């Protein structure tokens, strides 16, 4: 069993932990945790996704049972309009791994404009490193040495939306 504060799901408390100067031993009961204002944290099974799905995560709090459940909902991106589907897929983007961290990089026109501005800044020596802030909320730190490989990957992935078009 895992317990959390209602307003802080990142602060996990379990048997053997301390919380507010209280030790929860290995024999602690669910009621011991609940009596301290904690909620039991549960999670629904993770659904299988296709490349056209995105996963929405949300929590449901049951005040009566003191259970917080992490739930998942699949948002299906299969659309009849190919242009609308392409636009959504550009916004979702693709994962890119840098320094053992995976970032979700949008492949939009706005992201491309950011890449062009950064390429000029790195080439002119105006910056040695920066944090790229994308419109999907992703922030990726990158150095000048790493940027060229990333820019090549970005150009290839973005270009994939424009080659072999049938419409």
Q: State in Å, rounded, how far the first CA of the chain is from the last one.
A: 54
pLDDT in tens, 109-165: 999 999 999 999 999 988 999 999 998 888 999 999 999 999 999 999 999 888 865
pLDDT in tens, 12-55: 899 999 998 899 999 999 999 999 999 999 988 888 877 666 77
E strand map for the chain = 3-5, 8-13, 18-19, 22-23, 39-43, 53-62, 67-76, 94-98, 101-105, 129-133, 139-143
Distance CA 50, CA 28 (A): 41
Token pair 């992703």 in the structure block, residue: 138
Token pair 């492949």 in the structure block, residue: 107
Token pair 């790229």 in the structure block, residue: 132
Distance CA 116, CA 112 (A): 6
What integer pLDDT is reported at residue 165 of this predicted model?
Answer: 54
Rounded to 5 degrees, what are φ and ψ at 120? Answer: -65, -45
Token pair 């995560």 in the structure block, residue: 57
Distance CA 44, CA 46 (A): 6
């Amino acid at each position: 069993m895992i317990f959390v504060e209602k307003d802080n799901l990142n602060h996990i408390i379990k048997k053997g932990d301390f919380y507010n100067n209280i030790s929860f031993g290995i024999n602690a009961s669910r009621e011991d945790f609940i009596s301290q204002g904690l909620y039991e944290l549960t999670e629904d099974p993770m659904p299988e996704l296709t490349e056209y799905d995105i996963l929405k995560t949300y929590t449901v709090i049951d005040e009566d049972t003191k259970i917080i459940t992490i739930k998942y909902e699949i948002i299906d991106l299969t659309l009849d309009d190919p242009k609308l589907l392409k636009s959504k897929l550009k916004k979702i983007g693709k994962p890119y791994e840098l320094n053992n961290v995976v970032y979700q990089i949008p492949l939009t026109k706005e992201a491309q404009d950011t890449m062009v501005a950064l390429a000029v800044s790195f080439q002119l020596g105006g910056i040695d490193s920066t944090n790229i802030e994308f419109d999907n909320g992703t922030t990726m730190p990158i150095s000048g040495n790493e940027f060229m490989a990333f820019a090549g990957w970005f150009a290839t992935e973005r270009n994939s939306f424009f080659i072999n078009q049938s419409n």
